[in-house]
Amino acid sequence: MRRVLSLLALDKRGTALIEFGFLAPFLALLTLGVIDLSRGLAARFQLQQAVSLSLELVQSQPRTADKETGLVDYGFVEAQAQAAAGEDAVVDVHTWLECDGDEKKYDESCAPGEDSARYVRVLISKNFNGDFYYPTIPMSARGVLRIQ
């Protein structure tokens, strides 16, 4: 009996399998976490790309101005941003006027002699739901474009 036990103690053929058995759950969790993180980053990049495409549309698409105010309505950007970001995203398109650095409503005008600038901001928010490891994570992307 002593000889069988000593031979069994010296036998190293199954050691790698046992060590892998100890490490397998850790490796599986690590792999699933990396997959979730990658999916989250891809979703975040999709949001930023939707913002960039929306602002590119503002810049490249000539729109006719309102005859009374002379201003362009940028409401069309919201639908394009929604389509690019996905139906579960929340899109906010905000326009404003700055007169010497002070924010005013988009349809107002600056006093004579003041520096004026009009802006369009696109903000897209969305929740990312991880499948394996990460909980619900709120994400957002925004971009601002000076139009005048």
Contacts for 103 with CB less than 8 Å, ≥ 6 apart: 96, 97
User: Has residue 66 got a pLDDT over 90?
Assistant: no
Q: What percent of the chain has pLDDT over 70?
A: 91
Name 117's bridge partners.
98
User: Has residue 51 got a pLDDT over 90?
Assistant: yes
Q: How sure is the predictor about 110, in pLDDT bands with cuts at 50, 70 and 90? A: confident
Nearest to 124 by CA among 61, 41, 72, 46: 46
d(CA 142, CA 22): 45
> Using one digit for the tens of pLDDT, what is the confidence trace for 88-103?
899 998 888 888 878 8
DSSP H or E segment with residue 84: helix 76-85
d(CA 38, CA 137): 13
